[in-house]
Structure 1
Amino acid sequence: MKRSALSTHAARLSALSLGLATVVALSGCDTLNDWLAPDRVNYKAAETAPSLNVPSDLSTADISQRYAAPPKVNALGGGTERALTPAGNATLGVPTAQDPYGMHVERDSDRRWLVVDGRTPDQVWPQLQEFWQESGFTLKTDAPQTGIMATDWAENRANIPDDWFRKSIGKLVDFAYSSGTRDMFRTQVDRAANGSTDISVTHSAMEEVLTGQDKTSSRWEARPRNPALEAAFLAKIMEKFGLTDAQAKQLITDARPAGAKVAVETAGNASTLDIAEPFDRAWLRVGLALDRTNFTVDNRDREKGLYYVHYSDSMQELKKDGLFGKFFSSNTPTPTRQFLVNVRPKADSMTQVAVVDSNGQLDGSSDAQRIVSLLHAQLN
């Protein structure tokens, strides 16, 4: 019997999770502190590489002029007014007794997000646009109306070995070197309680693997997300918002535990999730969980509590073989069914999560119930 894409993905997700645990166990040097080092991340150098260095089928969509980044301003002038912290920082957040830097980090297992006090999503959005562009990325998605910002695929040039040949000669043709990996980052910006804003970063990764007996061809395979790399970019965002390197790293280290128990409720042939926390926090966590289960959020309607999603196979963007596939690619991804994930208050401190149909009724289909199962696994 042929399994659906979602069924296959459920098994693949478990394998990737196991693979990530194995990588962490075997790679003792790749700790959070290592990824926070300044020389571990470098996407800027890739800007000078010719287009042939980009894997086939990678989108290079331009940023909408409507959302173009504003001119740079000094720390205290222009745009959102910054406040001075007790330590003398000009921070984008609003300092409080609990958060003297005007921001803090929360975490749920290996998932972290930044909470910026006293600022709305509209106030932090231009700074995030600048941040990703200054970091060497092109924005593929730039949609403040949905709170989603995503980069195009890019190469971390810091992963390329700096051997003696590259040091002496290779710098002249540095674009010819490649790490064989590509990364993409998705930023989710949400309005939170008490006038604050939640910012999360989700990492997606692909690796080019040589194939065939003579190793002359290649294919792109998915790699597990790197939570430490996500944390490193959160730290860099905090520096953009006015903190020092040491202060940002300290907030990452001191991340406050978050999360609540998630229970499965079954009625007939449909299951729902009950999360023991208010809507604001549950809305954020469900969005993070969707990102990490390889779903693409086509749209979000916070007022209706709806995420419009479809299953997205990263291989569709990197399916052609290596360099030559760029010239012979004509296929387009097959359209997939859209699902509606509903997040709604059930009580003062209880939120229900369900997959519903276009009429708002529980979706009891097997694919919809697999989504509920995947969300339950991610939220626990």
Structure 2
Amino acid sequence: MTNDDKTTIIMKTRYMQRMTLAGAIALTAGINTGCSSLFGQEGYFRDRGHDYLRADVIEPMKVPEGVESRSVEQLYVIPSEENIDLAITDEFEVPRPQPLSGNAFADKVKIQKLGQKRWILVSTEPSDVWPKVRNFLARNRLEVVFTDATNGIIETGWLQFKDDQERKDKYRIQIEQGVQPDNTEIHVLHMNVDRDIPGRGQVNWPAQSISAEREAWMLDELAATLATDVTGQATSLLAQTIGVEDKVKLTRDDGEPILNLDLDYTRAWATVGHAVQQQGFTLWEQDSDIGVYYVAYQSVGEEDEEEKDEEPGFFSSLFGSDEPEQVATSPYSLQQVLAHLQLDDTPANRAIFASISSDKSEPLQNVPGYLVVVRGLEDNIEIRIRDGYARPLDTRKAKELLNVIRRNLI
């Protein structure tokens, strides 16, 4: 190759490099120009956040003649005051946060006991419990001969226990709404008869189980199964009517707040007795014959203030104190308090305290505490709270104390 040829090749190479560089510069310029046209103030994807400032005001829409116009109204209208729990009769004050019930963090399934009664308490709705109980009976091959999903009743067929060949047994399972919201109670009733008695036809169920041991066996087995059941059974549509009505309601009787309990009297008396020993209440005395609890109450806020005023020193916090904790007491017995009630002569008071004979002319001095009065017939129990003289409390105070009792019912 001659020198002229080499020179020609070098010149062509340099020419091509210059052309490539010029093309790259032109391409870059075109991209930059394109970006500005896409994203700039005049570009397609410009910021339109302030366009509303330049918008024109148009006249309101007019409807044709003969057509009635309707103004825009609230979608969620504030209802009128109908709920007794929310009624405000005095100057409103923001209430303190209420303490959580002692049952708030309890296990989802547990066996509850009051006196001689035992039942299963499940922290869910009855419509969720119904299919789980049916599944328990099916898995254990317990024949079901009668169901009433509306009232939450399941009856088994006749069973034969291996350790008792002379008699046959039968169970009735009652699923119902609990006294607290979103709780379910499962009650078990057991009966047995001689093996030779025909097993068909109507069954006359006893008021309480014939065998407490047989009842306890079914309760324990059913509770254990429900506690470990993670299969996520579907909610029963048929059983959604169980527990439609609350068992506990806060209402009024001639302006006085009261609690209405849809329970039998024995259960109501026992559960109120449990409630007045929880969450600030102290039970001093009780009289089941006349249906009165004599109690004291100290709110959580009052306890906190006393603790601040009586804060122990450094050394006492290290070594503690030998002095026992002081519990508030009353200088009067319940019988003394009831014998000196200061009651207005009204039909309501005469009916509520008909069984109590008191001397109004000799009042006791500074009677502390409260009287929790339990009255009513089966499945219609009324709970009132009065001061130490059995006089009605301020409406707000009565509702506050009744709500504390309500949260601690079991």
Normalised to the residue count of structure 2, the TM-score between the two structures is 0.29
The structure with the greater share of residues assigned to strand is 1
Q: Please say which structure displays the higher CA radius of gyration.
A: 2
The TM-score, its normalising length taken from structure 1, stands at 0.32
